Amino acid sequence: MSLTKLVRAAVLAAATLATLAPAASFAQAASDPAAAPAAAAQPASPVPMAAPAPVATTESIENPYGLEALWKQGDFVARGTLIILVIMSMGSWYIIFVKLYEQRKLMRSANAASKSFWNAGSVKAGVGALEEGSAYRFIAESGVSASDHHEGTLVEQIDLHTWISMSIQRAVDNINSRLQDGLAFLATVGSTAPFVGLFGTVWGIYHALTAIGIAGQASIDKVAGPVGEALIMTALGLAVAVPAVMGYNWLIRRNKTAMERVRTFSGDLHNVLLAGKR
């Protein structure tokens, strides 16, 4: 064999080995995973997932120092004081609204009397024109009754002027007394409600001192409840007293205005009855 053929055979053998070597390595890696390259053995890093959004939760926190806690944790003295203040407040507001209604009704009767009574042809016709059950009709009927039944009775010794004046004045006093009903309660509430609240304050401080003595230390959780109870009682006493005092002064001023119109009407009626025009 010549030298040229030998060289060609060697090159062909080398090319064949170069082709078969990667296939053998792949087959070895497939049959033995441990023999694979380190780079191929390492898995790809996982993609980080987004964290779930936090769910908003609403917690109901009960206030241990409010009115509800005062009623639940208070003893019979604290509850009794609270009930008294509530009754005072309800009574005050009831009287204020009722008196405002009565005063408004009296003012309407005054306006109606000034338009209808004095334009009538006689006193009796004017009385019939007034509203049934009104204060002004009551005054007019009292005056007419006194002038009609003067002679031939036990009071005939009293002159007509004095008798009519006395009858009309009694009617005016009755109306004034009716307007004053309930105002004494407002005055009482306005003057005593702060002291009732102060009593509740003293009782709450007593409970705070008792809690400190039992616990042996003045921690805030031991004294917060009783001290809060004391402050609530003070606030309630002022909240009851202030509207009562303001309502009392307001109603007194309105009563004065209303009674001025009533007295003016009664004086004019007295003069008309004495003039004899019936």
Confidence (pLDDT) at 59: 45
pLDDT, mean of each 10-residue run, the chain (278 residues): 55 54 46 45 50 49 56 70 91 94 90 82 82 86 80 68 86 91 93 90 77 67 66 87 94 92 88 70
The pLDDT of residue 183? 92
Q: How many CB atoms lie within 10 A of CB 218?
A: 12
* Structure token pair of residue 231: 């402050």
Instruction: Please state the pTM of the whole predicted model.
Output: 0.67
Look at residue 90 in the predicted model and tell me its pLDDT. 95
Residues of the chain by 3-state class (helix, strand, coil), percent to 5: 75, 0, 25
Contact in structure between 231 and 207 (CB atoms under 8 Å): no
SS3 96: helix
DSSP conformational letter for 126:
H
Look at residue 112 in the predicted model and tell me its pLDDT: 85
Burial of 30 (0-12, 13-18, 19+ CB in 10 A): exposed
pLDDT for residue 117: 82
- Provide the residue ranges of all domains of the chain, joining segments of one domain with +: 3-39, 67-275
CA angle 85, 89, 94 (to 5 degrees): 150
Return the structure tokens found at 54.
Answer: 């936090």
| Angle (CA) 73 74 80, round 5° | 150
Sign of CA dihedral 182, 186, 188, 189: positive
pLDDT score, position 145: 84
The C-alpha atoms of residue 73 and residue 269 are separated, in whole angstroms, by 64
Give the per-residue pLDDT at 125. Answer: 83
pLDDT confidence of residue 25: 47
Sequence letter at residue 118 = W
